[in-house]
Structure 1
Amino acid sequence: MPEHGNRRRKLNATSYVVLGMLSYAPATSYDLKLWVRDTVGSFWTFAHSQLYDEPARLVADGLVAETVEDTGRRRRTYEILPAGREALREWLAEHTDEQAEVRDPGLLKLFFANFGNRSDLLRLARDQHLAHRRRADDYSARRDELAPIADRWQLKTLELGLRYERCVEEFWAEFLRELEDEQS
């Protein structure tokens, strides 16, 4: 495996997303984009263009193998190698204590709401309440759809996503009632 100094290139979250997805089955970059969109994309966002670049880097690192079609569109299919599975296992074993990153535009707007007007604040509360309800409903539907085929840990991930969205939905519903009560 290519090394930089005495270690391979530092892998990032996208690297592990690709390795994890390829652990299920070989895939093209397009397949990866669809799988990510339908699974971890609901809680781990990044530019999907990275799913076209990262597999080639993992090939260069000796963690993934690449097969190119001889004819037609010459699609590239990627398959995880034993070294890639080991890198994924090492990452899964690492201590994880970083603070979760919440990049919520609604929460950011709420923080600065003092500089806006009341109608904008009411609209923000309504929009956020409905948006989080929709996301919670999407998690619930996805869980029901995947329950027969997903593994236990995938279902636990969906459960946490659902709980998170319901909790945030409840916050905005309460806040909206508070604002409406103040108007009465």
Structure 2
Amino acid sequence: MSLRFAVLSLLDIEPGSGYDLKRRFERSVNHFWSASHQQMYRELHKLHGEGLLNCVEEPQDGRPDKKVYSLTGAGRDALASWVATPAAAQKIRDPFLIQVFAGHHLSTEQMRAELATHLRQHRDKLATYQAQNARFYRRPAEQQQKLWISHQPLLLGIETEKTWIRWAEQLLARLDQEIEAQQ
């Protein structure tokens, strides 16, 4: 259900083609909601069929016509209604944390190696988020002002990754102490 409102939200900011939407999705919503290219296009077609989106075909030289989507009045109303509905807080669902919970079945070295792999991934994700954040601040001031609330999930993502990294570094230090004590 949330993909439809992610699509509506992105098109509320600016009309675009499916390709444009996927690129914008990857630079924004993707850090807290995922969807494949196929899911995105299915949702666009469904929303258009429900009368929540307009679709205008723009001719292109040597390529198929480009379909540019925008919100209809009904689409804006649906988005506004959904945004006004309270959302339940979500619990963390991370398979790696189950592995840590059952980590006593691994050697300290195995747990350390697995944790180091995840730590690299979270550091990479933090770098990606920080690059997206820098791009936000290169926008004109009026766009920053208009989109400041939409920017908040990215800032939460940055803080979440920093917290995860700090936790993992502390756990790695403890695992290193355990390994050293075993030698």
Inter-partner Cα distance in structure 1 for 2:136 and 2:58:
31
Inter-partner Cα distance in structure 1 for 2:131 and 2:24:
17
Inter-partner Cα distance in structure 2 for 1:122 and 1:15:
40
The answer to whether the 8 Å contact 1:139/1:158 transfers is yes
Equivalences for residues 5-84 of structure 1 within 5 A: 12-69=1-58, 72-84=63-75
Matching residue of 1:85: 76
The answer to whether the 8 Å contact 1:129/1:170 transfers is no
The answer to whether the 8 Å contact 2:109/2:179 transfers is no
One-letter identity of the residue aligned with 1:43: F
What's the CA shift string for 1:120-155, capped at 9, x where partnerless?
201112122222222222222221221132421133
* Matched residue SS, 2:36: coil
Please say which of residues 137-146 and 109-118 is displaced more in the overlay: 109-118
List structure 1 runs of 4+ shifted beyond 6 angstroms. none
- The structure where helix makes up a greater share of residues is 2
Equivalences for residues 138-149 of structure 1 within 5 A: 138-149=128-139
Matching residue of 1:127: 117
% identical equivalent positions: 25
TM-score (norm 1): 0.85
Inter-partner Cα distance in structure 1 for 2:59 and 2:135:
37
Inter-partner Cα distance in structure 2 for 1:91 and 1:31:
24
Inter-partner Cα distance in structure 2 for 1:140 and 1:26:
26
Inter-partner Cα distance in structure 1 for 2:44 and 2:57:
13
Equivalences for residues 146-161 of structure 1 within 5 A: 146-149=136-139, 150=144, 151-161=147-157
Unaligned runs of 5+ in 1: 1-11
Name the Cα RMSD after superposition. 1.7
Is the counterpart of residue 118 in structure 1 residue 118 in structure 2?
A: no
Q: CA deviation at 1:70?
A: 5.5
Q: CA deviation at 1:93?
A: 0.3
Q: CA deviation at 1:22?
A: 0.7
The number of residue pairs the alignment matches comes to 172
Unaligned runs of 5+ in 2: none
